[in-house]
Structure 1
């Protein structure tokens, strides 16, 4: 009762029958309030010294740790027309299973016997190559026979030349002897002439000596002619030797030219054969690409081209395969101001969308419904939004992440930092200071970038 009226009724109230009124009027509320304020103040001061875990809040989404475990889009390597589907959305496929059958749409590959015709061309080119090889071997054998024949004929010609030179030497000696005989016969004839003039020799003896002298002169002329003929034989032997060698070189040059021509044809045939073999491999590979196969085991999702007879272009995406076995991870994004606080191996508390949780940011151990992870990668460059990406993997020492978790689900996280008193954290928040630099035991700070300074 406020007792503000001039006509108070308190004197008319019988308090003996109102025990609650007596209790309220007799209570000392100020003293109780003081005690409560004192207790709360003591509790507040004690709470200011409780430990508080600094953290950085971040959001992201669920992904996979390995690139080959993420959803993979399947593209067509070649363009074609859809003939038949072998899967539907939600099917599980093994690596190598056929997904789709395409038919050809380019007129250059319409021939149904294209591989057989190309194989026939390859066999014909191989036979042509063998013919060139046989011709080259035959020309090589012919050149070897020419060299052997030329060697024998050269030796024969050299022998003839040597024989002619020996004949010249012999005829030269005969000429010298004939010249001496002629000189002796001339001297004897002159002496007989003098003796005949003196009457000491008869005319018959003089004429006999004249005949002997003339016979010696004839022998001298015959020796000179024979020497000249021998010298001509030497010249003829030399000419024949040079002719044999020239003809051998000419024949070898012609055979070598034909051999090089055959080798050039062989190289052209080899190039054509290689080109045909490559073309055949391309045709064979293209035929195999008519069947689109699964690159890995997984589940078929998001079939984008469904119609039979629909034409697909080269590189067009037709469906997506989600791998069956994958290791989950979370990609988070932090601001550049918080990037220096991040370290490899740092602990992270994660809350996944769809899983209820009670989170106490400063006391992570008291949170419920959160999952523990650790930083395994930090990007070196920022994204287009100016944020830096972190990769979070499950902590092997903590409980497993939910099995029903799927790639692409949202996640929010608390990246745990240093433990500080609550009063310090309040003071830091009021002043707008960043969290303390903290490197947990066993964590690896990001390496600074290497800058190459030009000389």
Structure 2
């Protein structure tokens, strides 16, 4: 009945007298519902006090633990032109295997015998260096000989000066003797003239004495000339010393100038030899770069430059290669607000894309299809996406990761934090509070390390 009217039938008729009325109006409908509601409230109360593991959920990708194990691209250090491929995509190569051959595109390297000709130039220049060194030795010997000859010449000139000075002294003595003789002859002549005037000397005797006087005067003049000549010789001998010094100074200066020129030319030639050696080494190294080889064992993923005859610049990507030996890891990104809650060595649960999983984020022990990992590195600088990068490695004490996982596949991560009651987690979520800030127990970690 809808009981729309204000006149109720139950006031005039007792419905419980009828069989259907007895079934309907005498039955307690809410008894079972009260029991269910009571049991539900008790169960809910118990559940609110169950432990809940706080966590930080994120996404990531599979990578490798070491940088040299990650996929890499091969480049050429020199520009070139592709001539021949020795591999194809999907091939496995070992370290040092030749992948492709290229040719030069720069005109200065077109000569196939460039290294050989440079080597010949280097040999010739090296011979020039030896020749300049020999010339330096010869000029040094010449300078030593000139210095020795100058010393002897100066000694000889000094001896001549001494001889001239002694001769000057001797001639000066002879001059004084001639002067005395001339004076005596004049005195004798004057005396003879006086005696002749007195009649004591004959004219013949006077003439003989006059003749002797003339001879004495002539000897005096001759001795004076000889003395002056000897003095000139002494001056000339002294002048010879200065001339010898000046002459040998010019010769030594010229020889030293030639020596310095030879040394400078030798040094310049050594510089050219060094440049040629560098060029030769560069040419040989460049020749080896005409073959692109595998830097490590791995699989050829994709050829970026594929055509024969295709040219490229230095540093341009040629192909991708994936190393064959690698250790898997996961890189995930966390928000800056969650970064203080992440610590190295803490455990993180991982779900790989393509692997079925049943996840209870707060109860990791009852989840299925997740795998264990540990934090090994945390970046200190924020990434381009506004989050911090965290690197994970497999937990050796947990289930081994699937062998079919490939680098680059996606993952979902759950970083496990502190255990709290469910009611506290609900209260935190309702108020949008972050998880509890905590620090790992370092004393226990150090004890575990010592025991290990």
**Under a length normalisation based on structure 1, what TM-score does the superposition of the two structures give?**
0.82
Superposed displacement of residue 126, structure 1: 2.8
Look up the match of 2:427: 427
CA change 1:58–1:172 in 2 (3 A) is farther
Residue 345 of structure 1 contacts residue 442 of structure 1 at CA under 8 Å; is this kept in 2?
no
Query: Could you tell me which residue of structure 2 aligns to residue 367 of structure 1?
Result: 367
1:142 equivalenced with 2:138 (yes/no): no
Equivalent residue, structure 2, for 1:255: 255
Q: Distance in 1 between matches of 2:17 and 2:106?
A: 110
Give the whole-Å Cα distance in 2 for the aligned partners of 1:330 and 1:315.
29
Against the structure 1 CA distance between its residues 215 and 73, is the aligned structure 2 distance closer, same or farther, given a 3 Å change threshold?
A: same
CA contact (8 A) 2:16 2:25 kept: no
Please give the alpha-carbon distance, in whole angstroms, between the structure 1 residues aligned to 2:206 and 2:50.
168
Aligned equivalents of 2:442, 2:189: Cα separation in 1: 137
1:403 aligned partner: 403
Partner of 2:228: 228
Matches within 5 A, 1:324-343: 324-343=324-343
Matched with 2:71 is 71
Q: State the Cα distance separating 1:422 from its structure 2 match.
A: 2.0
The aligned residue for residue 5 of structure 2 is none
- Pair 1:215–1:430, CA change in 2 (3 A): same
CA distance in 2, matches of 1:188, 1:423: 164
In 2, Cα distance between equivalents of 1:10 and 1:312: 103
Q: CA deviation at 1:385?
A: 2.5
Distance (Å, rounded) in 2 between the aligned partners of 1:420 and 1:202: 171
Match of 1:286 in 2: 286
Residue range with higher mean Cα deviation, 30-39 or 55-64: 30-39
CA distance in 2, matches of 1:189, 1:400: 151
SS in 1 for 2:337: coil
CA, structure 1 residues 45+220, in 2 after alignment: closer, same or farther (shift >3 Å)? Answer: farther
Q: Which residue of 2 aligns with 1:437?
A: 437
Moved more, 408-417 or 215-224: 215-224
Matched residues in 1 for 2:236 and 2:396: separation? Answer: 104
Deviation at 1:329, TM superposition (A): 1.7
- Which deviations, in whole Å up to 9, do the C-alpha atoms of 1:333-384 show, x marking residues without a partner? 1122222323333322221112222222122233222222222222232222
Per-residue CA distance 1:306-329 (angstroms, 9 max, x = gap): 333333443332211111112222
Structure 1 residue 156 and structure 2 residue 151: aligned?
Answer: no
1:187 to partner: Cα distance = 6.5
After TM superposition, give the deviation of residue 209 of structure 1 in Å.
6.8
Cα distance change of structure 1 residues 367 and 199 upon mapping to structure 2, 3 Å threshold: farther
Q: Are the structure 2 counterparts of residues 138 and 30 from structure 1 closer, same or farther at C-alpha, using a change threshold of 3 Å?
A: same
Shift of residue 61, structure 1, vs aligned partner: 0.7
Taking the TM superposition and a 5 Å limit, the aligned residue runs for 1:146-225 are 146-179=146-179, 217-225=217-225
The change in CA–CA distance for 1:101 and 1:187 in structure 2 (over 3 A counts) is same
User: What is the alpha-carbon root mean square deviation over aligned residues?
Assistant: 3.5
Higher alpha-carbon deviation: 64-73 or 299-308 = 299-308
Distance 1:195 1:33 in 2: 198
Residue of structure 2 in register with 1:448 after alignment: none
The answer (yes or no) to whether the contact 1:373–1:395 under 8 Å persists in 2 is yes
**Counterpart position of 2:344:** 344
User: Is 2:140 aligned against 1:133?
Assistant: no
- Bigger Cα displacement from structure 2, 26-35 vs 302-311: 26-35
Q: CA deviation at 1:246?
A: 1.5
Paired position in structure 1 for 2:103: 103
Distance 1:387 1:219, change over 3 A: same
Structure 2: give runs of 5+ residues left out of the alignment: 3-8, 444-452
Judged with a 3 Å threshold, the aligned counterparts in structure 2 of structure 1 residues 52 and 189 are, in CA distance, closer, same or farther, namely: farther
Cα contact 2:350–2:371 (8 A) shared by 1: yes
Alpha-carbon offset, residue 417 of structure 1? 2.0
Partners of 2:109 and 2:262 in 1: how far apart?
Answer: 34
Distance 1:37 1:155, change over 3 A: same
The change in CA–CA distance for 1:414 and 1:180 in structure 2 (over 3 A counts) is farther
Name the residue aligned to 2:269. Answer: 269
Residue 62 of structure 1 corresponds to 62
Q: 2:121 is matched with which residue?
A: 121
Higher alpha-carbon deviation: 300-309 or 93-102: 300-309
Please state how far the C-alpha of 1:410 moved relative to its aligned partner.
0.6
**SS, match of residue 337 in structure 1:** helix
TM-score by length of 2: 0.82
The 1:195–1:56 alpha-carbon spacing in structure 2 relative to 1, beyond 3 Å, is farther
2:448 matched residue in structure 1:
none
